[in-house]
């Protein structure tokens, strides 16, 4: 079976990493996979090169002017159609809204046998940019199947866009546990890099610096805590809010030491050096960072949005707090600081859950079942 995956870029993001994990798993089982990336290449291309996956460059580049932006989109659509016409793909599988739309239109024009689009998050982008409702409607209409990664996304797609249940397939994200097991030995190394002592209690949040990820809420929560040994680590690229975060830290006179580490390629090691994981998003589909925290055996505090309650079994495996509530966040942090046995218990239960349910093998098998049954 020959499959073309369509995605916006190969930058390091949740959907992108899941797609690469899937392709790696499919390639081991003899599937021929290729990728059409609208915005050229990115850090994840190296992993695809290592397994000899062909990557087509759509020619689109973000940041262009409006007229050039439209020209680039049309050029990308033309290139995608040419790739589809020049190859015999049994399946086209797209990720994220823009790629979904392109794949749906091009795949329909080229009469692809099985056209799958993916919904990886709640449809909040339609509220921020109402025009997306029309693009998503076209994608949904032309798709043969739509994969979702949580029941939260499933329910959102049905209620928001009236998509019939029969068109949806739920496949949870998968995570490779091995790097997190091997990273345990890096705990002291990373702590030394950050000048943290063995007594310091380190909280980590893995999320690009985007408003809806909740960094401002975390800073306000930390301003309510006076624990001297507490350290905060933010891991993720600055998408335009770092200056405002630093300003808020200064204005609130936050006593907790806060480090912005930017993008890191050693996430398992960062987590091994930490004691508590935070997910403070205002919206989520199914959070990869949450699975990574669980795989590291850390206790989790997460907002009660999207797929977070599913992953944490409605609070059995970690603490759920309302979104946009610094007070609730601060209370949850203090609860784990003051209750060591609870901290250990949450970490162990979360690790057991992720290693039994959210495996890459399970995720790959479910995709194969979808491809072969349609």
Domain of 90, CATH number, reads 3.40.50.2000
**Shared domain check, 10 and 43:** yes
| Confidence (pLDDT) at 253 | 93
**Shared domain check, 168 and 93:** yes
**Shared domain check, 87 and 25:** yes
| Confidence (pLDDT) at 265 | 87
| Confidence (pLDDT) at 226 | 85
**Shared domain check, 367 and 328:** no
- Are 44 and 11 in contact, with CB atoms under 8 Å apart? yes
- Are 136 and 162 in contact, with CB atoms under 8 Å apart? no
Number of neighbouring beta carbons within 10 Å of residue 62: 10
**Shared domain check, 213 and 318:** yes
**Shared domain check, 323 and 365:** no
Q: What is the DSSP string of 214-238?
A: -HHHHHHHHTT---TTEEEEEES-B
| Confidence (pLDDT) at 290 | 95
Number of neighbouring beta carbons within 10 Å of residue 203: 25
**Shared domain check, 151 and 230:** no
**Shared domain check, 214 and 169:** no
**Shared domain check, 230 and 154:** no
Structure confidence at residue 306 as a pLDDT band (50, 70, 90): confident
**Shared domain check, 45 and 6:** yes
Number of neighbouring beta carbons within 10 Å of residue 202: 23
| Confidence (pLDDT) at 66 | 64
| Confidence (pLDDT) at 96 | 93
Higher pLDDT, 19 or 182: 19
The total of structural domains in the chain comes to 2
Task: Supply the pTM of this predicted model.
Answer: 0.85
**Shared domain check, 197 and 147:** no
**Shared domain check, 194 and 108:** no
Q: How far apart are CA 353 and CA 298, in angstroms?
A: 12
Res. 214: pLDDT tops 80: yes
pLDDT in tens, 56-94: 999 887 766 666 778 888 999 999 999 999 999 999 999
H-state helical runs in the chain = 14-28, 45-50, 66-86, 97-109, 124-128, 132-142, 151-161, 178-182, 187-193, 215-222, 242-251, 267-272, 288-295, 308-311, 326-338, 340-357, 360-373
Q: Which two tokens stand for residue 2?
A: 């020959």
Q: How far apart are CA 71 and CA 235, in angstroms?
A: 35
| Confidence (pLDDT) at 155 | 93
Full residue range of the structural domain in which residue 30 is found: 2-174+359-373
């Amino acid at each position: 079976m020959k499959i073309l995956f369509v995605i916006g870029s190969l930058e390091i993001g949740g959907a992108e990493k899941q797609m690469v994990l899937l392709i790696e798993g499919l390639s081991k089982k003899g599937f021929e996979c290729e990728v059409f990336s609208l915005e050229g290449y990115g850090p994840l291309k190296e992993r695809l090169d290592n397994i000899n996956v062909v990557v087509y460059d759509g020619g689109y580049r973000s940041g262009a002017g409006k007229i050039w932006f439209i020209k680039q989109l049309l050029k990308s659509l033309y290139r995608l159609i040419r790739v589809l016409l020049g190859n015999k793909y049994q399946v086209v599988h797209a990720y994220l809204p823009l790629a979904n739309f392109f794949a749906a239109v091009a795949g329909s024009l080229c009469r692809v046998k099985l056209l799958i689009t993916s919904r990886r998050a709640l449809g909040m982008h339609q509220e921020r940019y109402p025009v997306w409702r029309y693009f998503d409607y076209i994608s949904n209409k032309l798709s043969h199947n739509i994969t979702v990664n949580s029941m939260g996304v499933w329910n959102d797609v049905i209620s928001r866009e009236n998509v019939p249940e029969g068109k949806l397939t739920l496949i949870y994200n998968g995570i490779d546990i091995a790097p997190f097991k091997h990273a345990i030995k890096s705990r002291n190394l990373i702590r030394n890099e950050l000048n943290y002592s063995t007594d310091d209690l380190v909280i980590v949040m893995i999320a690009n610096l985007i408003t809806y990820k909740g960094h401002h809420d975390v800073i306000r929560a930390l301003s309510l805590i006076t624990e001297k040994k507490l350290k905060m680590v933010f891991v993720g690229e600055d998408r335009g809010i770092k200056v405002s975060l630093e300003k808020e830290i200064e204005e609130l006179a936050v006593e907790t030491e806060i480090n912005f580490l930017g993008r890191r390629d050693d996430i398992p090691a960062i987590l091994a050096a930490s004691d508590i994981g935070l997910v403070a998003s205002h919206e989520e589909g199914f959070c990869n960072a949450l699975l990574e925290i669980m795989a590291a055996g850390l206790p989790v505090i997460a907002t009660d949005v999207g797929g977070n309650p599913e992953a944490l079994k409605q609070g059995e495996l970690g603490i759920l707090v309302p979104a946009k509530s610094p007070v609730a966040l601060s209370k949850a942090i203090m609860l784990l600081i003051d209750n060591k046995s609870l901290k250990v218990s949450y970490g162990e239960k979360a690790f057991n859950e992720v290693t039994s349910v959210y495996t890459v093998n399970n995720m790959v098998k479910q995709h194969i079942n979808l491809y072969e049954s349609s």
